[in-house]
Each structure stands twice: as C-alpha cells, then as structure tokens.
Amino acid sequence: MTMMGNFVTAYWLTAALSIFQAQSVQVLIERNVMHDEGKRVSRRKALAGISSVGLAALLTACSRNEPTATTTTGTQAPVSPRAEVTPSATALLDKANTCTLTPSTTQGPYYFDADKIRSDIRESRPGTRLELAIQVQDSELCTPVPNAVVELWHCDASGLYSGAEDLSRGAGQAPGGGGGDLEPQDANRYLRGAQVTDAFGRVTFVTIWPGWYRGRTVHIHAMVHIDDNRPLTTQIMFDEAVNAKVLGKAPYNQRRGRDTLNEDDGIFDPMMLMKTEPADDGYKGAIVFAIDSDKDGT
C-alpha cells in the first residue's frame, strides 16, 4: 500500500473510533444520569432535548399507568417511580402513624404547579440538610398507594417562598391563609418539587429544614395527587426540641423574633409531626400520609 493509502486508511480508522467513543459516552450518560441525586428531570431533558415533564403530563401518565409522559416540546419521555428508601428511613416509616386518616388543611397562599419533577429540591439554598421519606396509604384498606404524585413546597431559612418572594416578605406581616393556586410572582422555584410513589407507596426528597415566618410554626406543605384529584392537602411539622437545635444554628440564627411554636399554631395537629433522627450531615425524617381514597371521611 502507498504512503497516501496508509494515510487515508489511518484517517478513516481515527474518524470511526471517534464516532464510536462519542456514542459510547452518550450511552454511559443515559445509563448513569438517573443515579445522580436530584437529576431525574435532567435525564428527561437529555432524552427529550431541552423539554421537561410537567406536573399535568405526569399526572396523566400515572393515571393511565403509561410508561411515558408528553414533554413540553411534544416528545415522549419515560416516567418511572424512583424511591430510594434507605433501611433507616424504612425503620422511621415503621414508627410513623399508619392507617389513620391524615388531617387535611389549607394549601396556604403560595401554592402553584412548579413543574419540577425531582427529588432534590434544594437548588443550593443554605440550611440544614433534611432527607424525607413519605409513604402514601389508603386509610381504610391500610395498603400502599402506588403511582400517586406527592408534591412538596416550603419556605427557605429566611422564611421566603420561591415564586412569591416579595409576597412572603409581607412587609413584616403574617401571610394570609390563601386557598386558590397562586400566579407565580418571580422565576425562582427552589424548595418545590414532586415525585411519583413506587409500588410501596413511597417517595423520597432531599431538602433543607424549613425556616419560619410570623404567625406560623415551622412546616412543609404537602399535596397528594391521584389522577386529576387532590385527595390530600396537608402540612408536615416537627418536634419543637429539634426545631430549637436547628434554628439555633446558621443560617437560621441570623433571624430573631419567632412568635409561633407548635402549641400556638392554629393548624398544628400531632398527626402532622414527622419522625426524625440525626444524620451525619443533617436529619432524616419519615411520615405516612393516609388518604381518603373513596372520600367517605374515614
């Protein structure tokens, strides 16, 4: 073979190897991205361009037991529950109240569909790490509810809600009770997210310990969606001894004047208390949501 022939052959071999390596890297990305904490939306974007799966599309897919959902660009992306419940979280769930109807309450003034299907909802907000495990049960049958969507939202360490920072500042006034869905007031979406329950009715989230604001105790808002229904809107609350430990440290201790503890809160119910235990880098918590699937009040 001539020198020119050798050069051409080497050129095409190099090009083929580059293509193979690029394809291999793409396969590895698609295989491994689901293992990164809080990157479930990222995988959907990787598979469906720059689009993402919104809450409405997710609810439709779950109600029909479909393996995919329609993204914002009209393509199909996989939808699958990915609860990664650790043995310690399972033990906490076992200690939680079960088969007793979870109290319903107001959704508050700051709820809106954030279109954030993810487990890690922190978005780098400062605060004490909190890993949550939630199980959804039928209150009468005492059985897990799979393919339900659990949605959480709460304020940050400064008492602010994403999408409503100016409103939640409130010029030092306590926020109102709310009732309807809010029209987002800004582009922030931190500390908001939703997940699909697995075959055991479980979801997991990584967030921070909530802060506080005037007129309310420390709490997390939660909503359970099944099909187009909202069978449960409730709140998660915490033991005051643990609240005191967390709020006594940075960044929470930069604020003073907390005026409402659990015992003073008009919404507080002992059934809303989450079981917690210390973890290496924060806390782990677990709670069971027992929903009234047939809406008969039990």
| Residue span of the structural domain in which 264 resides | 87-291
In a domain, 195, yes or no: yes
Cα–Cα distance measured from residue 292 to residue 115, given in angstroms and rounded to the nearest whole number? 25
27 has a pLDDT exceeding 90: no
Which residue type is seen at 233?
T
What's the domain count of the chain? 3
Summarised one tens digit per residue, pLDDT across range 92-124 is 888 787 789 999 999 999 999 998 889 999 999
User: How sure is the predictor about 83, in pLDDT bands with cuts at 50, 70 and 90?
Assistant: low
Nearest to 73 by CA among 57, 97, 96: 57
Interhelix angle 3-32/40-47, rounded to 10 degrees, is 140
Residues 206, 212, 217, 223, Cα dihedral to 10°: -40
Is the domain of 160 the same as that of 274?
A: yes
Cα–Cα distance measured from residue 273 to residue 12, given in angstroms and rounded to the nearest whole number? 65
* Residues 6+ positions from 258 with CB-CB distance below 8 Å: 212, 247
172 or 200: whose pLDDT is higher? 200
Q: What is the mean pLDDT of the chain?
A: 78
Is the domain of 91 the same as that of 13?
A: no
Is the domain of 3 the same as that of 65?
A: no
In a domain, 23, yes or no: yes
Q: Residue 247: which CATH number?
A: 2.60.130.10
In a domain, 296, yes or no: no
Summarised one tens digit per residue, pLDDT across range 44-63 is 332 233 235 555 555 555 55
Summarised one tens digit per residue, pLDDT across range 238-280 is 999 999 999 999 999 999 999 999 999 999 999 999 999 999 8
Cα angle value 290/281/198 (rounded, 5°): 30
In a domain, 245, yes or no: yes
Supply the pLDDT for residue 276: 95
Is the domain of 69 the same as that of 137?
A: no
Supply the pLDDT for residue 188: 96
Of 57, 80, 103, the position where a domain reaches its end is 80
User: How sure is the predictor about 297, in pLDDT bands with cuts at 50, 70 and 90?
Assistant: confident
Cα–Cα distance measured from residue 99 to residue 119, given in angstroms and rounded to the nearest whole number? 25
pTM: 0.75
Is the domain of 54 the same as that of 175?
A: no
In a domain, 297, yes or no: no
Cα–Cα distance measured from residue 287 to residue 274, given in angstroms and rounded to the nearest whole number? 5
8 or 68: whose pLDDT is higher? 68
Write out the two tokens for 270. 């002992």
Is the domain of 182 the same as that of 243?
A: yes
Stretch among 67-71, 104-108, 157-161, 175-179 having the lowest mean pLDDT: 67-71
DSSP string, 206-246: EEE----BTTB-SEEEEEEEETTEEEEEEEEE--HHHHHHH
Is the domain of 61 the same as that of 180?
A: no
Is the domain of 146 the same as that of 199?
A: yes
176 or 214: whose pLDDT is higher? 214
Q: Is 194 exposed, middle or buried (0-12, 13-18, 19+ CB in 10 A)?
A: buried
Is the domain of 45 the same as that of 136?
A: no
201 or 59: whose pLDDT is higher? 201
CA distance to 156, 241, 286, 288, per residue, from 133 (Å): 19, 21, 5, 9
Is the domain of 204 the same as that of 263?
A: yes
Supply the pLDDT for residue 24: 40
User: How sure is the predictor about 295, in pLDDT bands with cuts at 50, 70 and 90?
Assistant: confident
In a domain, 232, yes or no: yes
Is the domain of 21 the same as that of 102?
A: no
CA distance to 89, 138, 141, 276, per residue, from 99 (Å): 18, 7, 8, 20
Is the domain of 124 the same as that of 138?
A: yes
User: How sure is the predictor about 37, in pLDDT bands with cuts at 50, 70 and 90?
Assistant: very low
Nearest to 54 by CA among 82, 33, 77, 30: 77
Residue 79: half-sphere exposure toward Cβ, Cα within 13 Å? 30
Cα–Cα distance measured from residue 149 to residue 197, given in angstroms and rounded to the nearest whole number? 6
